[in-house]
Amino acid sequence: MKPVEFKKILIPLDFSPTSMVAFEHAVKMAKTFKAELFMLHVMEDTLLINDIFLPETKMVNLGKISKIAENKMMELASDVSSQIKTHAIVRQGKAAGEIIITAKEIGIDLIVMGTHGSSGFEEFFIGSNAERVVVGASCPVLTIQSYAKTPGFKNIVFPVDNSISSRQKLAHATVLAKHFDSKIFVLGLLSEDQDKDHVKTFELKIQQVNEFLEKNQVMHESTIVHREDHANIIMKFASEKDADLILIMTEQEFDSSNYFLGSSAQTIVNHSKVPVLVVRPEGFEVSWTKNNPM
Condensed to tens digits (0 to 9), the pLDDT of residues 145-173 reads 888 878 999 999 999 987 767 667 899 99
H helices of the chain, where? 17-33, 49-53, 62-78, 95-106, 120-121, 129-136, 170-180, 196-215, 230-240, 263-271
**pTM score, two decimals?**
0.86
Strands 155-160 and 183-190: parallel
Residue 18 scores a pLDDT above 60: yes
Range 168-177 burial, b when 16+ CB lie within 10 A, else e: bbbbbbbbbb
Residue range 79-103: average pLDDT? 91
Residue 69 scores a pLDDT above 50: yes
Residue-range domains of the chain with CATH: 1-152 (3.40.50.620)
The reported pLDDT for the residue numbered 34 is 96
Contact 103, 134 (CB under 8 A): no
State residue 159 phi and psi, 5-degree precision.
-75, 140
Contact 271, 232 (CB under 8 A): no
Contact 13, 62 (CB under 8 A): no
The reported pLDDT for the residue numbered 51 is 46
